[in-house]
Structure 1
Amino acid sequence: MSIYCDVRKRKKGTVYKYIVSVNRKHFKAKEQMTFSTKAAGKAWALHVEKEMLKQADAEEPKYESARSRTGDITLRTYLETYRAKMETLPERERISHRDMLAIKFWEGTWLAEKRSNEITEQHLIDLLDERLGKVTAATNHVYVSVLRKAIDWQKRVGLHFKRFITPEVMKELWRLKLVGKSKRDNFRPTETQIKELYTFLLDGYNKPTGSIPHHHLMLFSIYSTFREGEICSLKWTNLDAENGFIIIEDRKDPNDKYGNHQKVPIPPECLEIIAMQPRLDDEPRIFPYKAKSVASHFSEITKKLGVPELRFHSFRHEGISRLFEQKMQIPDVAARSGHQTWENLRRYTHLLHREPADLWAQCKEIEEDYWATHEVKNRLLKKINKQRSA
């Protein structure tokens, strides 16, 4: 153990930088702080050294920062340490990409400048109130939940930060309508909208640089009812086309998605769409695209077409509703959609039409007519057609 004082002369006077360190076989700790007087610095150093030795002699030696204990760290410092800790964990223990983006958001706010001993619920209320002009109360709820969980991790992070988001604070946020539930997506595209969108997406795919068959992904989503992330992770090796099954790896689960592999029935329409996809070298996935890019692309297109309420997730919603229209039983629907409870499926049953249209047959006809009257401009398709004719 050692205490070292580094004397530095500055324009405004002399300062004293004290460095305290303890090195043992199973315990290492180091702290430093700058003071304007030598007496104050020495008193601090002796106190910190005493705390270090006390923690080193504990049954489970683990150093807790003196600055942390006194509330002298900012929220940004805590969150940066939290993120660094997450990066050291196995993938199954880490937070999701969406939650990591939320943590980075908090790091970039003025709230991140607040220290543990000064941050209050009013600071949080003010920031959420500012955000309501840009995001919904539901989004605020997601971000607050992520921050709250991060602060609850302080024992693993190794830093202390005041738990200022208490159950009482959450009740107040709900009362003030600064957080809220997400609005359920009950929008179903019409038959005409789907055919028009299919034609539009097909034409967009037939460009020299076209790479993603969004028109096929749309119909695949309707008939499979899979989430976009599940679609973009399907592998050729997990497909049993002969028996009409495919394995979805690490399917979304409220408890633990890792290792949650499910063998799911896949309809003939989806098998036809899969058969139309090129099998690329060194690519195990059937649809080797980023799910986030697929969803955002659809949102951009539907906004241009004047139907912003139509999102890629709407096709999954459409597909599940169609299954109920076909008189499929709840367990069979759940096996395809991946829903865990009846409560999650209930909202799909009040949107029933009598006879769901054969969308795939109509869209196949659209595609056949399109290629009969249009030149193939897509470079990838040209290459595939050349290989097939060779």
Structure 2
Amino acid sequence: MATIRKLRGRWQAQVRRRGTKPRCKSFDTKLEAEKWARELEAQVDRFGAAPDTRILESTTLSELLERYKTEVSPTKRGSVQEIQRIDVLKRHDIAYRTMMGLSPQDISSFRDERLRTVAPSTTVRELAILSHVLEVAIRDWGLPLGRNVVKLVRRPVIRNERKRRLEGNEEQRLLDACSGGKIPYFRTLLIVAIETGMRRGEILGLRWGDISHNRRVITLTMTKNGSGREVPLSQRAYSALSEWKGRSDETETRVFAMAPGSLEQAWYRLLARAEVSGLRFHDLRHEGVSRLFERGLNVIEVSSISGHKELRMLRRYAHLDAADLVARLG
């Protein structure tokens, strides 16, 4: 058991364990002394000895974030986005906390502060980064932390499910409006998105060499979930791609030579011309996956095409048309 006593106006905590060197430290309050003693005892129980925690008193969360950004983030596929989020985290007060003083209450306060200005999904991503930084610091960098305090904090609930699908003649209006734009392949791009349910990044990264004309299949070597997959093409999608290939520049290896930002701008201009509102480009993925179910494919078949690894995530996209289901029930 730790000994807590008041000495010369300050509170001193002393931890003694058989076979380990006694450790003591002074604090301004009794609560701080008790907290330090509990954490040190937990570390002794975990490691079998009292680690030198002086490094925790001088190391800030900002320093760990910077090291993580330099050593770990560049190895990830989403490194650009993660580095941007780390730079945001380093501007908050929590980044100046030392690892000795970092507590679950600090993480909770940070969470509540962020929820006042950003969406829950953004807050969850930032908490995930903080949690992994601490995990790497403990497991790979040998930082003598007794626990990952981020894991002790409740994560915000994300409710961003969308049920928006193409309604009435919206699809035809969008396709017709493509002729009024300056992007010659935009109509083909929309057809591929609707027919395959592929993600925006997968579509924009598509190369002519990824398309097997004999098999009528697109081969994606690397996707968002870290693995590749094959996407079968409907006759409609294959015909649209073939027609565009006949008109495209033979020296261009990419099917759709467009940046994500340019696609977003072109999409909003297209919505205005087609007089369609409340539709996001990502909703075309919802539409495509839902149509696969409506064509009679089962969950395993749809997941192999869409790339979803979890049924929970797949259900968010599969908003089936009730009238179609009634017809199939008989």
Task: Provide the TM-score with structure 2 as the length reference.
Answer: 0.69
| Partner of residue 66, structure 2 | 80
Could you tell me which of 165, 172, 195 is aligned with 2:149? 165
Equivalent residue for 1:106?
Answer: 89
The Cα of 1:343 is off from its aligned counterpart by 3.7
The 2-side partners of 1:303 and 1:156 are apart by 52
Equivalent residue for 1:243, pick from 215, 218, 229 = 215
Alpha-carbon distance, 1:149 to partner: 0.8
Alpha-carbon offset, residue 306 of structure 1: 7.1
Which amino acid in structure 2 is aligned with residue 241 of structure 1?
Answer: H
Query: Which residue does the alignment assign to 1:14?
Result: none
What's the counterpart of residue 221 of structure 1? 193
Find the counterpart in structure 2 of residue 332 from structure 1: 301
Whether 1:273 and 2:256 are equivalent positions in the alignment is no
* CA–CA separation in structure 2 for the residues paired with 1:229 and 1:270: 18
- Unaligned runs of 5+ residues in structure 2 are 1-50, 326-330
The equivalent of 2:39 in structure 1 is none
Report the Cα offset of residue 301 of structure 1: 6.4
1:181 CA drift (Å):
2.3
- AA matched with 1:168: L
Distance 1:265 1:183, change over 3 A: same
Give the match for residue 41 of structure 2. none
SS in structure 2 opposite 1:71? helix
Matches within 5 A, 1:1-390: 69-86=55-72, 91=75, 96-155=79-138, 158=141, 160=143, 165-170=149-154, 174=155, 179-203=156-180, 205-206=181-182, 210=183, 213-253=185-225, 257=226, 260-275=227-242, 276-277=244-245, 279-280=248-249, 283-291=252-260, 293-295=262-264, 298=267, 307-308=277-278, 310-352=279-321
For the 8 Å contact 1:151–1:161, the answer to whether it is kept is no
Partners in 1 of 2:143 and 2:290 — Cα distance? 48
| Pair 263,306 (structure 1): closer, same or farther in 2 beyond 3 Å | closer
Counterpart residue type for residue 204 of structure 2: C
3-state SS in 2 of match to 1:217: helix
- Is the alpha carbon distance of 1:223 and 1:133 closer, same or farther for their aligned partners in structure 2, counting shifts above 3 Å? same
* CA drift at 1:290: 2.9
Deviation string 1:303-332 (CA, Å, 9 cap, x unpaired) is: 996734x21110011011112222233333
Change in 2 beyond 3 A, CA 1:146/1:68:
farther
Query: Shift of residue 334 of structure 1?
Result: 2.4
Deviation track 1:241-283 (CA, whole Å, cap 9, x = no partner) reads 2321121111333xxx1xx332321112222222215544654
CA distance in 2, matches of 1:144, 1:285: 36
Larger Rg: 1
User: Are the structure 2 counterparts of residues 127 and 349 from structure 1 closer, same or farther at C-alpha, using a change threshold of 3 Å?
Assistant: closer
Question: For structure 1, which runs of at least 5 residues remain unmatched after alignment?
Answer: 1-63, 357-390
Distance verdict in 2 for CA 1:322–1:337, change over 3 Å? same
| Equivalence for 1:11 | none
RMSD: 3.4
CA distance in 2, matches of 1:245, 1:86: 35
CA contact (8 A) 2:292 2:302 kept: yes
Letter in 2 for 1:197: L
Deviation at 1:156, TM superposition (A): 6.7
User: Offset at 1:286?
Assistant: 1.4
Q: Distance in 2 between matches of 1:114 and 1:303?
A: 48
Q: Deviations over 1:178-204 (max 9, x none)?
A: x1124212211213333333344442x
Q: Secondary structure at the match of 1:128?
A: helix
SS of equivalent residue, structure 1 residue 152: helix
Distance, in Å, in 1 between the alignment partners of 2:122 and 2:236 is 36
8 A Cα contact 2:138 2:144, kept in partner: no
Hey, what's the Cα distance between the residues in 2 that align with 1:127 and 1:249?
A: 38
- Give the structure-1-normalised TM-score: 0.59
- On the 8 A contact 2:267/2:281 being kept in 1, the answer is yes
Q: Measured at CA, do residues 350 and 311 of structure 1 come closer, stay the same or move farther in structure 2, by a change above 3 Å?
A: closer
Kindly provide the amino acid, as one letter, of the partner of residue 332 in structure 1. Answer: E
**Equivalent pair of 1:295/1:311 in contact (CA under 8 Å):** no
Which residue identity lines up with residue 230 of structure 1 in the other structure?
E
Contact 1:119 1:164 in 2 (8 A): no
By how many angstroms is 1:151 displaced?
A: 1.6
1:122, distance to aligned residue in structure 2 (A)? 2.9
1:152 counterpart letter in structure 2: E
